[in-house]
Structure 1
């Protein structure tokens, strides 16, 4: 790999329509040089369509794609010099690992000596140098994925585009490959654009996440910012799990006060007086021991519970707030849960975040 820096990508008002169906609507996005951005959303949200417009395989109905400020919207895919890793690897079964990785260099007519040197260096980068003479069928799924990554990187691409690259792997191997992919991104310094519907993968890998719903970009930001301060009900519910508390909001110096029945919930964020919605993550709620207090306290009874190894998932029925989901680490739970058991729940004001309802 050369020492050149990653490239900056800009999407300006991208839309894609297929007849009356709008796959992507007015998507604008800035990706800084060397960043790892993930396009995250459910099936049919438009994330793969955006990736294909970046790659040049799909022509936008409207808008522009810029690389380092240069308009490449009309540039054909083969001239964009982007590396691409597909969900199904797309390796040539009759070729060895080294031959698969060398293929983009042969297409570009590089000399044998330089081609061999680049292949060796790239296989070493993905820790597969000892498998150079094997065929894809002799490799595990994780090893095949690393071959696909090596082939996409060997010609020193301007961007690396990843279309759900880990979705075919089992959970344990996917977690291992996430760590490897993150480390690889740091080593090569390229700009990575990843597509996934896996929230944990997006949180683990990304410098920034762009969340899509029904063809629209609904929120973009760092993983921690999106998780801690979701803008809408959809973002709060899709990126992790959340309880939602509806009520009437009142202005307050520390944020907002939401009233529901006889219960007041202190929260943070912006909401005008009137109907409002708070998002409350299950892991931010605790079961209070006798005499223990918190900024928000609600009484209820355990309706259901599950032991998950590292913790407990508990559903608590409350009089005014309905059922609240609570996730507690097993090592610090102050009780042995049982259905019908009375409990007091508590959480800090900052755990309850005002979010907007999604547009119809």
Structure 2
């Protein structure tokens, strides 16, 4: 992570109410210098309200926003010196690419020579130097978004705020722009705060992700940490797909326990430093479908469940299977399509297996 030009952002007990409706509730979050942080959550989770509060367009009902330790909560948007990229690009249709990118410099009263040099640098940064004289309508959606990025970065902002910047693009172009945006962040070394509801985008772009639900911060951490060690059912279910196994804790030790679910026991091995739930406690496990393997008739595993395929879907790289088991309910598994060991069919009997460290305990979400 490049910290040379980045600024640190702190949210301290941030809340926002609209009458009786609580949009954001007591959110505290630290964003490191030069970090790419994504606010992720479903519609209505509060992520855009937080971004608008950071930008200065929404006044918090309580709490504070600090930049490098300085309270900026009372400052109007124009005094915060933040760049912003919107979902719909917000380019001026009558201005050329260069004129659009020049606009924030003109507002700041910069000399023409300095403006021209900065605009050339910003357009080169997003690989649009040859498009300076074109109008927005002459550009593709991806090119328009790159112009918006150049305009937001041209005045060297303290933070770059991104409000679902890729959601208007088709899937292939969105994937390409994700790679470009990640590379751009590494080149410029600025602090980026991004808002999205797209889990794949959050995982691929971010240094850290803050997951929100009903206006509350549920969990924050590196993408791999959140995916592999979700704390709650909501995080496990929202960030990717998960199976959930419900049962009672039996034989708890320092390294793991068995989950009694009906007539079967599921072996659970805990990571170093993790504490097992209390003996006899009702516990929920999260098991990712890609960690469930299809076993041959004579093949063993630490955990085995037999069942029949309820349905399957071909996804290109693999098959997604829904398997009905007698004691653990429905289990989803992902099977590589290339040289698949079986041809999936509804009703086909299968044996599923997974390692003891594949499933992790998660908390049920508060009502």
TM-score by length of 2: 0.96
Counterpart check, 1:316 vs 2:316: no
Q: What secondary structure, in the 3-state scheme, does the structure 2 residue paired with 1:334 have?
A: coil
Displacement, 1:37? 0.1
Instruction: Identify the residue that residue 95 of structure 1 maps to in structure 2.
Output: 95
Instruction: Identify the residue that residue 163 of structure 2 maps to in structure 1.
Output: 163
Instruction: Identify the residue that residue 277 of structure 2 maps to in structure 1.
Output: 271
Counterpart check, 1:330 vs 2:337: yes
Displacement, 1:253? 3.7
Instruction: Identify the residue that residue 261 of structure 1 maps to in structure 2.
Output: 262
Pick from 288, 296, 304 the counterpart of residue 297 of structure 1: 304
The alignment yields a C-alpha RMSD, in angstroms, of 1.1
Once residues 47 and 352 of structure 1 are traced to their aligned partners in structure 2, the CA distance between those partners, rounded to angstroms, is 29
Once residues 107 and 253 of structure 1 are traced to their aligned partners in structure 2, the CA distance between those partners, rounded to angstroms, is 63
Displacement, 1:4? 5.1
Displacement, 1:312? 0.6
Instruction: Identify the residue that residue 52 of structure 1 maps to in structure 2.
Output: 52
TM-score by length of 1: 0.98
Instruction: Identify the residue that residue 356 of structure 1 maps to in structure 2.
Output: 363
CA contact (8 A) 1:287 1:333 kept: no
Instruction: Identify the residue that residue 21 of structure 2 maps to in structure 1.
Output: 21
Instruction: Identify the residue that residue 238 of structure 1 maps to in structure 2.
Output: 238
CA contact (8 A) 1:159 1:191 kept: yes
Query: Which range moved further: 326-335 or 192-201?
Result: 326-335
Once residues 176 and 68 of structure 1 are traced to their aligned partners in structure 2, the CA distance between those partners, rounded to angstroms, is 33
Q: What secondary structure, in the 3-state scheme, does the structure 2 residue paired with 1:224 have?
A: helix
Once residues 54 and 177 of structure 1 are traced to their aligned partners in structure 2, the CA distance between those partners, rounded to angstroms, is 24
Pick from 335, 351, 354 the counterpart of residue 347 of structure 1: 354
Once residues 308 and 44 of structure 1 are traced to their aligned partners in structure 2, the CA distance between those partners, rounded to angstroms, is 30
Instruction: Identify the residue that residue 199 of structure 1 maps to in structure 2.
Output: 199
Q: What secondary structure, in the 3-state scheme, does the structure 2 residue paired with 1:185 have?
A: helix
CA contact (8 A) 1:97 1:147 kept: yes
CA contact (8 A) 1:87 1:164 kept: yes
Displacement, 1:322? 0.6
Instruction: Identify the residue that residue 288 of structure 1 maps to in structure 2.
Output: 295
Mind listing any 5+ residue stretches in structure 1 that lack a counterpart?
A: none
Displacement, 1:332? 4.7
Alignment length, in residue pairs? 358
Once residues 140 and 344 of structure 1 are traced to their aligned partners in structure 2, the CA distance between those partners, rounded to angstroms, is 49
Give a deviation string over 1:31-77, Cα, whole Å, max 9, x none: 10000000000000000000011111111111010000111111111
Give a deviation string over 1:231-283, Cα, whole Å, max 9, x none: 00000000000011111112234223111111111223542232110000000
Displacement, 1:349? 1.1
Once residues 50 and 42 of structure 2 are traced to their aligned partners in structure 1, the CA distance between those partners, rounded to angstroms, is 14
Query: Which range moved further: 160-169 or 241-250?
Result: 241-250
Once residues 257 and 338 of structure 1 are traced to their aligned partners in structure 2, the CA distance between those partners, rounded to angstroms, is 32
Once residues 296 and 340 of structure 2 are traced to their aligned partners in structure 1, the CA distance between those partners, rounded to angstroms, is 9
Q: What secondary structure, in the 3-state scheme, does the structure 2 residue paired with 1:349 have?
A: coil
Once residues 278 and 20 of structure 2 are traced to their aligned partners in structure 1, the CA distance between those partners, rounded to angstroms, is 36
Q: What secondary structure, in the 3-state scheme, does the structure 2 residue paired with 1:328 have?
A: strand
Instruction: Identify the residue that residue 112 of structure 1 maps to in structure 2.
Output: 112
Instruction: Give 1:44-193 correspondences, 5 Å limit.
Output: 44-193=44-193
Once residues 55 and 194 of structure 1 are traced to their aligned partners in structure 2, the CA distance between those partners, rounded to angstroms, is 12
CA contact (8 A) 2:87 2:167 kept: yes
Once residues 5 and 117 of structure 2 are traced to their aligned partners in structure 1, the CA distance between those partners, rounded to angstroms, is 21
